[in-house]
């Protein structure tokens, strides 16, 4: 069996959780962290929808103390385009990722700022610390 790369091992050690779970109203989701103590090194964001939503806008926000929040940029996995606000169109899942290089973060959350149509949005995150 081939050995795992450092990134593969880090992802195996990552924490996974839902910041937004079937969110149908605007507002911040649950706060996520890596073991609650270590700084966050990288993360992935996966968006999915239920129902008949047309579009949703989701911002990823970071914090040092869990109470003061600021926007963090993410990169769309399939295009490489960087953005601060994820404009998600319904149909399937969308994957985004980011590295915290040069940024000190202890906490992350997704914040739903717009939703059109009926239905809900789920934002799952995989967080790697260290």
4 within a domain of the structure (yes/no): no
> What are all long-range contacts of 71-74, with beta carbons under 8 Å and residues at least 24 apart?
72/98, 72/100, 72/103, 72/105, 72/108, 73/98, 74/45, 74/98
2 within a domain of the structure (yes/no): no
Residue 35's domain comprises: 14-129
Confirm if 55 and 116 have CB atoms less than 8 A apart.
yes
76 within a domain of the structure (yes/no): yes
6 within a domain of the structure (yes/no): no
Q: What is the C-alpha R_g of the chain?
A: 15
CATH code for position 105: 2.60.120
7 within a domain of the structure (yes/no): no
| Average pLDDT of span 85-94 | 72
Report the SS3 class of residue 9. Answer: helix
90 within a domain of the structure (yes/no): yes
- Local structure of residue 7 (DSSP, 8 states): H
Name residue, tokens 């929040």.
69
pLDDT of residue 91: 64
97 within a domain of the structure (yes/no): yes
Report the SS3 class of residue 10. Answer: helix
Where does the pLDDT of residue 46 fall: very low under 50, low under 70, confident under 90, or very high at 90 and above?
A: confident
Q: Is residue 10 predicted with pLDDT exceeding 50?
A: no
1 within a domain of the structure (yes/no): no
Where does the pLDDT of residue 102 fall: very low under 50, low under 70, confident under 90, or very high at 90 and above?
A: low
Confirm if 39 and 95 have CB atoms less than 8 A apart.
no
Q: State the Cα–Cα distance between residues 17 and 44, nearest whole angstrom.
A: 11
Q: What are the C-alpha distances in Å from 113 to residues 14, 25, 88?
A: 27, 8, 11
Mean residue pLDDT of the chain comes to: 78
Overall number of domains in the chain = 1
């Amino acid at each position: 069996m081939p050995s795992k790369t450092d990134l593969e091992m880090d992802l195996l050690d990552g924490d996974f959780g839902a910041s937004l779970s079937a969110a149908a109203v605007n507002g911040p989701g649950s706060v996520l962290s890596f073991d609650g103590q270590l700084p966050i090194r990288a993360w992935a964001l996966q968006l999915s929808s239920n129902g008949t939503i047309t579009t949703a806008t989701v911002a990823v926000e970071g914090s040092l103390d869990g109470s003061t929040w600021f926007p963090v940029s993410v990169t769309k996995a399939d295009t490489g385009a960087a953005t601060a606000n994820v404009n998600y169109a319904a149909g399937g899942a969308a994957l985004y990722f980011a590295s915290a290089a040069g940024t000190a973060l202890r906490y992350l959350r997704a914040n739903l700022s717009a939703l059109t149509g009926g239905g809900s949005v789920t934002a799952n995150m995989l967080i790697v610390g260290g």
